[in-house]
């Protein structure tokens, strides 16, 4: 494993010059630059990350922090993030925050950050992205933050990449309305997630624009998981006046509704239209394939890393607006025009 000194000797310059070339610093003649680059190539030299980190107090590591809920959402964002890091010479390390216990979450995190192995930046995946305590802790440690998935309620600093959840939910609801549905049920996500609120607001807004009141019987507080979708579906379908369409705040819950319909012998989409949100892996593997909102998760992850790394060196804390990426309505087989019983 060669070091800078070797390169310097081979190129016949000082190690500092090598350093300058490697870091694209000015004040080096072109001739020298080439000589150094040749030597680097010849020796297959790669700088020592640990020495760099030690001296420069940076780790060339981005830490992705997410809670321990597995699934397509985090997984895909993470893949995007890894790709973004790899393309820029950074590493992505992953921290899992298991507990629902806030105290423990913060301790885990603090531990992580106090270490001199602290990351140069942190990527917060929803719902952690809008967690106030986490935010504060990171600010104390002066670690740049990027958020994926939802803006914080408080005006935290840090960059963000997200989609317009409210608009997307509104569009989906409007689509269902356009199919003739009037009684549209909604399954909310986990309370506390910003997306939960925003998607519900989109649903409300669409109904309001058609002067339809939200029927409390048609709104269920889910948990973003399959089980709660199942329960919601069972509840909706045993109403005396059941809905003709159901829109769940994510695909897992929509799959649950589908399951409930199957178990009750209700045909989808003939008797019940079902829509999801996320366009996750399962959306097109279930029957009928799910009408849903596509989120560009890979791009969210990669975009967040890109923005994060680009602000790393800077100190100008100019206000950053989150980047809004486009979503897309994906119509598959789980929705259809309402059967006229007129």
Partner DNA sequence: CTTCAAATTGACAAGGTTGTCAATTTTCGT
Partner DNA sequence: ACGAAAATTGACAACCTTGTCAATTTGAAG
Binding status of residue 117 toward DNA by CB under 7 A: no
112-151 binders of a copy of itself (CB under 8 A): 114-117
Residues 49-78 that bind a copy of itself (CB under 8 A): 49-51, 53-54, 59-61, 68, 70-72, 75-76, 78
**Whole-angstrom distance between the N-terminal and C-terminal Cα of the chain?**
80
**Residue 114 touches DNA, criterion: CB under 7 A:** no
Cis upstream peptide for 126 (omega within 30°): no
192 binds DNA (CB under 7 A): no
Q: Is residue 254 within 8 Å of residue 293, measured between CB atoms?
A: no
96 binds, among DNA, a copy of itself, none (CB under 5 to 8 A by kind): a copy of itself
CB of 315 to DNA, least distance (A): 14
Q: Which does 4 bind (CB under 5 to 8 A by kind): DNA, a copy of itself, none?
A: DNA
323 binds, among a copy of itself, DNA, none (CB under 5 to 8 A by kind): none
List the one residue from 34, 41, 48, 238 that touches DNA (CB under 7 A). Answer: 48
Q: Which of 34, 38, 41, 54 binds DNA (CB under 7 A)?
A: 54
Smallest separation (angstroms) from a copy of itself to the CB of 307: 20
CA 119 to chain centre: 19
Binding residues for a copy of itself restricted to 226-245, rule: CB under 8 A: 226
User: Judged by CB under 8 A, does residue 99 bind a copy of itself?
Assistant: no
Q: How far lies 136's CA from each of 111, 114, 140, 212, in Å?
A: 15, 14, 6, 41
Number of residues that bind a copy of itself (CB under 8 A): 48
Minimum gap (Å) between residue 257 Cβ and a copy of itself: 11
Among positions 38, 51, 96, 153, the unique one binding DNA when judged by CB under 7 A: 51
C-alpha–C-alpha distance, residues 200 and 193, integer Å = 11
Q: What does 92 interact with, of DNA, a copy of itself, none (CB < 5 to 8 A by kind)?
A: a copy of itself
**CB of residue 53 vs DNA: minimum separation in angstroms?**
8
Structure tokens at 138: 């990171």
Is residue 297 a contact partner of residue 76, using CB atoms and an 8 Å limit? yes
Q: Which residues bind DNA (CB under 7 A)?
A: 1, 3-5, 13-17, 19-20, 22-23, 25-29, 31-32, 45, 47-48, 51-52, 54-57, 116
Q: Which residues bind a copy of itself (CB under 8 A)?
A: 1, 44, 46-51, 53-54, 59-61, 68, 70-72, 75-76, 78-79, 82-83, 86, 91-96, 111, 114-117, 226, 252, 255-256, 258-259, 262, 281-282, 284-287
């Amino acid at each position: 494993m060669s070091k800078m000194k070797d390169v310097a000797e081979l190129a016949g310059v000082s190690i500092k010059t090598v350093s300058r070339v490697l870091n694209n610093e000015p004040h080096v003649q072109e001739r020298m630059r080439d000589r150094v680059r040749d030597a680097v190539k010849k020796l297959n030299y790669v700088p020592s990350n640990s020495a760099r980190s030690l001296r420069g107090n940076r780790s060339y590591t981005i830490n992705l922090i997410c809670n321990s809920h597995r699934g397509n959402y985090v997984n895909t964002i993470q893949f995007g993030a890894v790709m973004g890091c790899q393309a820029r010479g950074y590493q992505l390390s992953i921290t899992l925050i298991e507990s629902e216990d806030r105290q423990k979450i913060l301790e885990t995190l603090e531990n992580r950050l106090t270490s001199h192995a602290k990351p140069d930046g942190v990527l917060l995946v929803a719902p952690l992205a809008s967690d106030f305590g986490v935010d504060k802790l990171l600010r104390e440690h002066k670690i740049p933050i990027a958020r994926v998935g939802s803006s914080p309620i408080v005006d935290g600093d840090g960059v963000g990449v997200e989609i317009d959840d409210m608009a997307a939910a509104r569009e989906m609801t409007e689509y269902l309305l356009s199919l003739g549905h009037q009684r549209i049920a909604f399954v909310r996500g986990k309370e506390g997630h910003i997306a939960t609120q925003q998607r519900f607001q989109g649903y409300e807004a669409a109904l309001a624009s058609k002067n339809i009141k939200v029927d409390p019987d048609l709104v269920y507080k889910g948990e973003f998981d399959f089980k709660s979708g199942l329960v919601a579906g069972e509840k909706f379908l045993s109403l005396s006046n059941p809905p003709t369409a159901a829109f769940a705040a994510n695909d897992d819950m929509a799959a649950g509704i589908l399951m409930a319909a199957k178990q009750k012998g209700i045909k989808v989409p003939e008797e019940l239209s079902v829509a999801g949100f996320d366009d996750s892996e399962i959306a097109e593997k279930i029957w009928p394939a799910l009408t849903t909102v596509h989120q560009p998760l890979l791009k969210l992850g990669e975009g967040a890393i890109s923005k994060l790394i680009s602000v790393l060196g800077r100190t100008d804390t100019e206000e950053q607006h989150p980047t809004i990426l486009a979503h897309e309505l994906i119509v598959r087989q789980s929705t259809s025009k309402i059967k006229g019983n007129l």
